[in-house]
Amino acid sequence: MAGIGFELRRLIHEDGGLISRIRGYTIAGLVSSGPWIVTIMGLLFINAAAPLVLQREVYEEFRAIVTYAFAFSLIIVGIVQMSLTRRAADLLYARRYSQLLPALAQGVRTVGFGQAALGALFCWLVGLPIGLSIAAILLYVIVSLTWLALIWCGATKDHQSVLHAYCWGTLVAFIGVFCTSSGFLGIPQSAPALVMAYALGQGLTLVLLLKAAIRALDMGGTKDQPVLKTVKTYPRLALVGFVYNAAIWVDQIVFWIVDGVGVQPYVSFHPLYDSAKFIAYATVIPTLAIMLVRIETSFYECYRAFYGSILQGFPLEVIEERKAAMLTDLRESTVRLLRVQGFVTILMILLAPTLVEALGMGEAAIDIIRACCIGAFFHVLLLVVILIQLYFDLRSNALWTAIVFLALNGAMAVWSVSTGLHSYGVGYAIASFFGLVFGYWMLTRNYDRLEYLAFTTAPVELDDEPKKPEGSA
């Protein structure tokens, strides 16, 4: 997302005014958290409106399918997501722009067919009806390809197109769900119809994102390597993507299995804990916006200067000076993140009773939301640590950090659900905190060796020799 990040930074600072900053950070929040915002808004809206317009069984089927589509698409696509991100970055670094769109096409084909097959297998194994299966598979594939399209949109500076894609897609999804649930179009109310309507909105978002990527990148015809070869080239990145995304959802999966509800066997959800987690995730959107504007721009510039001085053989004094500047910028960005996220978390803790009353969730949800918000506070800092580890090419460290977080979040979820309602969310907070501590320890113990690591690690891993520039991205 660095390309969009630089454009948003320019937008924020173009006149230095308050309106410009609000507009820039709002767009950054939407761009960096589009899928989460769509999911959270949709599920919370449906949760509030369900008693009025939806039959209970229809609502439970619809919510479970949508949640599963986002959860498992993110986990499975995580296997190739970071590897393809690195592949796109390497192509940009080597100025092999004509291979960017072929690489995207390879990813779309591989992920699309692969996820369709996995979705069909899952629907067959759990015994979903044919109509619901078709709608669920369609939604699952569309969401999977959306995660993929975001990689290439991040290489562009066209934040407006990304923003419009999410806005129009969300609007169409909401209108479709409303018309289907109310019988406005003469379609009987059913879970397959609701899922299909929601999938159409998500499909519009995907089409607009792909259109933006195709328009912004070179229309080259050079064939790129297969996706599986890219995964093989960056195996640790593939594992980091899979393990970290699994860690995000493992606590909810435990709750679904042990204490979930649902009409379909093996397709359940936990209304109380899921809603609390979605609300907690919404609180980190401002921090994700700052990450997009600060860490992926100003820190990236310092990072590039530091590694550039090493690769170009600058004197040791210059290298150490640029390393100190990089560390200073990272500290300043982290302090800003702590201030913003701390304020948002404290505000949500104070407003939890009001929010729970407005959503009709019951008093038990107050403490759960508060615990989940504290967990989200540590979680977003953990994400920053993992991203910095990957910036410094500490892939093994990032993998171990993700593994520890996965193990802790899974184990603490088992403890939480077995202990009782009063411990819901507490396990997530504990896992996020100790995962953060472990990741920070892994990061700091390697910081003094960055010069050595930069000398001994190639900055770009490509199959053949870089070609001359064939265009510009």
pLDDT digits (tens, 9 = 90+) for 2-25: 444 444 445 445 555 545 554 554
E strands of 208-278, at which residues? none
CB distance 8 to 292 below 8 Å: yes
What average pLDDT does the segment 421-449 reach?
90
pLDDT for res 5: 43
Q: Which of 331, 329, 335, 306 is nearest to 318 (CA)?
A: 306
pLDDT for res 316: 77
Residue 179 C-alpha from the chain's centroid: 29
- Higher per-residue pLDDT: 34 or 215: 215
What average pLDDT does the segment 145-155 reach?
79
Q: Which of 435, 285, 280, 286 is nearest to 373 (CA)?
A: 280
Burial of 245 (0-12, 13-18, 19+ CB in 10 A): buried
- Higher per-residue pLDDT: 435 or 238: 435
What average pLDDT does the segment 18-45 reach?
56
pLDDT for res 33: 55
> What is the spatial distance between Cα 355 and Cα 369, in angstroms, rounded to a whole number?
10
pLDDT for res 75: 92
Q: Which of 40-54, 107-121, 147-161, 347-361 is least confident?
A: 40-54
pLDDT for res 7: 45
What average pLDDT does the segment 103-107 reach?
83
Structure tokens at 263: 């009409």
- Higher per-residue pLDDT: 274 or 298: 274
Name 155's Cβ contacts closer than 8 Å, sequence gap at least 6: 3, 88, 92, 100, 213, 216, 217, 473
Flag whether pLDDT at 159 surpasses 80: no
CB distance 398 to 383 below 8 Å: no
pLDDT digits (tens, 9 = 90+) for 272-295: 898 899 889 888 877 777 766 666
> What is the spatial distance between Cα 16 and Cα 396, in angstroms, rounded to a whole number?
41
pLDDT for res 169: 85
- SS3 assignment, position 243: helix
pLDDT for res 203: 93
